[in-house]
Chain A
Amino acid sequence: MSIEIRNISKTFGSFVALRDVSLSVPAGELVALLGPSGSGKTTLLRIIAGLEVADSGSVLFDGQDSTVRRIGDRQVGFVFQHYALFRHMTVFENVAFGLRVRPRHERPSKAEIERRVQELLELVHLGSLAKRYPSQLSGGQRQRIALARALAVEPKVLLLDEPFGSLDAKVRQELRRWLRQLHDELQITGIFVTHDQEEALEVADQVVVMNEGQVEQVGTPEEVYDQPATPFTYNFLGSVNLFRGRVHEGRVQMGAIEMFAPEHIEVRHSVAVGYVRPHEMAVERQNGGESTIEATVRYLHAVGPTVRLELERSDGGDLIEAHLSKERYRELDLKIGETVFVKPQNLRVFVPDNYQI
């Protein structure tokens, strides 16, 4: 089922949670709503589910306005951050709940319910725990039961609110991969909320970056990571180095850095901000001529495949972060306190006027 969100706005008292958000999710895709806390992502998810009512705008399922539909009739599965399992019911009863509360004429037979619940428990690899109570399960197991419960009613859309937020790193990794597999198997439209950029980039087909109640950028993980449309997206997805300067008719001047930015050809005498990812910083021992910054190595972190350098600029003392491959690091043979020359290789320039694209 495809989902179309049209001009949704929502305020809580004086706090604006969502301002005029529009978004469309094609059927069968897994979409991540990514943003810091307070960006409105959970509110948007709850509005899609029908748990919250928007002040204005509408949500369309397969082109039909769902705003008027009763919450239980939307065919939506929802997985809560803190599982929201029924504590007084066994795992089996939890999963069976959605089937048992159906009106008599729609309710499957007892044997049928038993079969389906068992099937779902197998799907989430917890078939042997049917008789346990939620309190006897680990966090990861509870989350999978919550998922099985949501899937029991055969939803057309699966919504997950920070599904792995309260789990430890290892379990999180595992469940992430498993969610992706499950989604590919079931072919249902899925939306999940997360503040973890790594999670969004790894699992989702499309990432929706949100900030202060607005959508900053929509795109595939590669698009939002490699071509951030706004400074916010640049900052939020991964670490970034920031340079301040001016731009005039496409000519950018940021301290020692001089470059040409054709996209700003019409800008005259304006303040500009440049962003470079740490792995896009070339580090040399010799001065490489134009647009090179002299800096001192302040900190070295050499664990893992990439080496992280913290450099202090000789002009002004700002800190720069640079990532090197292990090979390059060995080649340079750097030590703390040594002087190096860095050159940004892929500088994206933003002018305050076009902050809001």
Chain B
Amino acid sequence: MAVVLKRRSILPGFGLAMGFSVLYLSLVVLVPLSTVVLKTATLSWDQFWQTITAPRVLASYQLSFGASFVGALINAFFGLVVAWVLVRYDFPGKRIVDGLVDLPFALPTAVAGIALTAAYSGNGWIGQYLETLGIKAAFTPLGVVIALTFIGLPFVVRTVQPVLQDVDQEVEEAAAILGARRWQTFSRVILPPVLPAVLTGFTLAFSRALGEYGSVVFIAGNMPMRTEITPLLIVTKLEQFDYAGATAIALAMLVASFVLLLLMNLLQWWSRRRYGAL
């Protein structure tokens, strides 16, 4: 007696969808990225190591990762507040504010860079007041943080918004009746369910900030060892026709980013298991 052991899924089309996914990812992500590795491989190990550990490059890693991290952190906090305001309150012009959030997505990054530089430079609208407080924003690492915060904002707001919408207002009322203070309600009842979304938003904002170029180069001033971000160094090398050197730094950045993103995904997976989608 012949027994058919073939497993049938009630969701057909796995083969086709998976095949298409792999092809698509290969064409768009894997193949282009593998050329980075191939080009870098034209360097000797020594040359490679020297390129990626040159003092100027090391300083740029520090700035890129540090400023991206700080920017994403600021966004995680303020993005949550903005999402909260947009979800919980009704006010005139709410749609406009909601639309403003997406602006950093749509704006050409160079436009953003020029606008930020104009506003935050010593005689700009905001910069002049900061100057009186003794704070220089433009052409310092602080400027880099500002630019990276600007471009990362939509990520946190847009990931947190729908989740926050799902948190029933009755749940807050229940907590209040049970005697919880406002901050207890926030930290024990509201935050845990939205935390995975905040982490996702943070990760997205962080990774976007790592790769950002256009909006940063204007406000940063690009002083070697102080305000040069890694993507800028890569472009500089390309302009000097040092293609292998450029890809070497790119590869270092790629590996570091990948490891960081992997860590954050693990953290998210853990927090989701702990608090989220139960």
Contacts and interface: CB of A to CB of B under 8 A. Distances in A.
Nearest to A80: B170
A88 B192 contact: yes
Given A88-B275, A101-B188, A82 B178 contact: no
B188 A97 contact: yes
Chain B binding site: helix, strand, loop or mixed by DSSP?
helix
Given A97-B188, A101-B188, A133-B278, A84 B174 contact: yes
Interface string B177-194: 111110010001100110
A78 B174 contact: yes
Contact of A153 (B170, B179, B276, B278): B179
A98 interface: yes
B118 interface: no
Contacts of B180: 72, 97, 101
Interface residue tally on B, bucketed by range: 20 to 34
A165 to B, nearest CB: 14
A22 B176 CA distance: 26
B171 A72 contact: no
Interface string A22-56: 00000000000000000000000000011100000
B270 to A, nearest CB: 14
A84 B192 CA distance: 15
Interface residue tally on A, bucketed by range: 20 to 34
A104 interface: no
Contacts of A51: 173, 176-177
A133 B171 CA distance: 15
Contacts of B189: 86
Interface in A67-103: 71-74, 76-78, 80, 82, 84-88, 97-98, 101-102
* Residue among B168, B173, B193 having the largest count of chain A Cβ atoms under 10 Å: B173
Contact of B178 (A50, A133, A153): A153
A142 interface: no
Interface string A93-117: 0000110011000000000000000
A88 B278 contact: yes
B175 interface: yes
B177 A78 contact: yes
Contacts of B170: 80, 82, 84
Contacts of A80: 170, 173-174
A73 B180 CA distance: 10
Interface string B257-278: 0000000000000000001101
A97 B178 contact: yes
Nearest to A134: B278
* Residue among B179, B184, B188, B275 having the largest count of chain A Cβ atoms under 10 Å: B179
Nearest to A102: B179
Interface string B155-179: 0000000000000101101111111
Given A78-B174, A80-B170, A82-B168, A88 B193 contact: yes
Contacts of B188: 86, 97, 101
B211 to A, nearest CB: 33
Given A72-B181, A101-B179, A102-B179, 19 more contacts: A50-B177, A51-B173, A51-B177, A72-B178, A72-B179, A72-B180, A78-B177, A80-B173, A84-B171, A84-B174, A85-B174, A87-B193, A87-B278, A88-B275, A88-B278, A101-B175, A133-B278, A149-B174, A149-B178
Interface of A: 49-51, 71-74, 76-78, 80, 82, 84-88, 97-98, 101-102, 133, 135, 149-150, 152-153
Closest 4 CB pairs of A and B: A98-B178, A72-B179, A84-B170, A101-B180
